[in-house]
């Protein structure tokens, strides 16, 4: 899926919502716990409830890996279900991989060849040879960690270099020389709107995956002021605020309501930007 196809979906759904499937088995409602695969049953219900409002789904692999081989099967079934029923929706494996050489190639093959996701989150700390193996797959994307939404991001990401620029700007400037805007996205947290504007100035054409709206308190309007570009250029992720909107039998209905609420807010921002 290329950038134009993502933008087309954004215009059709009037949304740039990415729903994070951070599914924790211990937090599932009782209504799905008796199923053979409760994690998949929960995900399937959430996907069906929110697909009309979302242009992307982002399962965080850690929550599946904790369940061992059973969890990995749930993840594979989740991805396969999205691809079969909603092939227009962009799938990001939030795996935060980052190693070198053959190891990175193996990680990339696991997600791109075997699981068939569209994108993988990658950590750039080890440099270009930890990222470039992921860039060698046709029609697949790297979502590179640049400025994350957690409080500890300040420990390294804002550290000034010899020119007084924060490290995250060096990461973005360097990585953007490795791949264009149809292969590479950057993670830019919603909790840093001023820095988000700085990132947009450095990479005006690239998509930004923006976590932190919802449970982490990021402001959607501020994100849009800082980050929208002529092809939207944003995928705003919400996870817990949607998938755990209710822990009762109405969990899917409430998830749909939360996703719809965000979609309506996004529609307004797209209209104000003249993109609809």
pLDDT computed for residue 154 by the predictor: 79
pLDDT computed for residue 190 by the predictor: 78
Best CA proximity match to 241, nearest among 221, 261, 223, 224: 261
pLDDT computed for residue 148 by the predictor: 87
pLDDT computed for residue 214 by the predictor: 61
Structural contact between residues 58 and 16, judged by C-beta atoms closer than 8 angstroms: no
Along the 276 residues of the chain, how does pLDDT read in single tens digits?
A: 999 999 999 999 999 999 999 999 999 999 999 999 999 999 999 999 999 999 999 999 999 999 999 999 999 999 999 999 999 999 999 999 999 889 999 999 999 999 999 999 999 999 999 999 999 999 999 999 999 878 788 788 888 876 788 889 999 999 999 999 999 999 998 777 888 999 999 999 999 999 977 655 668 999 999 999 999 999 999 999 999 999 999 999 999 999 999 999 999 999 999 999
**Rg of the chain in Å (alpha carbons):** 18
The CATH number covering residue 110 comes to 3.20.20.70
From 83, 96, 170, 267, the catalytic residue: 96
State which residues form the domain around 239: 3-272
C-alpha 208/C-alpha 152 separation (Å) is 20
Domain count, the chain: 1
C-alpha 262/C-alpha 238 separation (Å) is 9
C-alpha 183/C-alpha 245 separation (Å) is 33
> What is the SS3 assignment for 93?
strand
Q: DSSP class of residue 211?
A: -
Give φ, ψ of 107 to 5 degrees. Answer: -60, -45
Active site residue 183: no
> What is the SS3 assignment for 148?
coil
Tally of CB atoms within 10 A around 38 = 18
Copy the structure tokens of residue 107: 């990680």
Can you list the positions of beta strands (E) in 106-233?
A: 119-122, 141-147, 184-188, 208-210
Q: DSSP class of residue 113?
A: I
């Amino acid at each position: 899926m290329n950038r134009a196809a993502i933008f087309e979906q954004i215009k059709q759904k009037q949304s740039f919502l990415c729903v994070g499937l951070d599914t924790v088995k211990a937090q599932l409602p009782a209504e799905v716990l008796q199923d053979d695969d409760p994690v998949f049953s929960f995900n399937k219900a959430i996907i069906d409830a929110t697909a009309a409002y979302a242009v992307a789904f982002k399962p965080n692999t850690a929550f599946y890996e904790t369940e061992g081989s059973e969890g990995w099967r749930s993840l594979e079934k989740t991805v396969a279900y999205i691809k079969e029923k909603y092939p227009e929706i962009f799938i990001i494996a939030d795996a935060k991989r980052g190693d070198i050489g053959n190891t990175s190639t193996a990680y990339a093959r696991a997600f791109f060849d075997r699981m068939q996701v569209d994108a993988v989150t990658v950590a750039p700390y080890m440099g270009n040879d930890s990222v470039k193996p992921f860039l060698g797959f046709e029609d697949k994307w790297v979502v590179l960690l640049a400025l994350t939404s957690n409080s500890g991001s300040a420990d390294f990401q804002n550290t000034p270099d010899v020119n007084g620029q924060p490290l995250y700007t060096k990461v973005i400037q360097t990585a953007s020389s490795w791949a264009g805007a149809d292969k590479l996205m950057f993670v830019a947290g919603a909790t840093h709107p001023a820095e988000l504007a700085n990132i947009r100035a450095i990479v005006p054409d690239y998509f930004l995956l923006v976590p932190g709206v919802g449970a982490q308190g990021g402001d959607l309007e501020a994100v849009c002021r800082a980050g929208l570009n002529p092809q939207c250029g944003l995928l705003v992720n919400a996870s817990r605020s949607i998938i755990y909107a209710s822990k009762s039998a109405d969990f899917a209905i409430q998830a749909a309501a939360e996703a719809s609420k965000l979609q309506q807010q996004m529609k307004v921002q797209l209209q104000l930007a003249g993109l609809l």
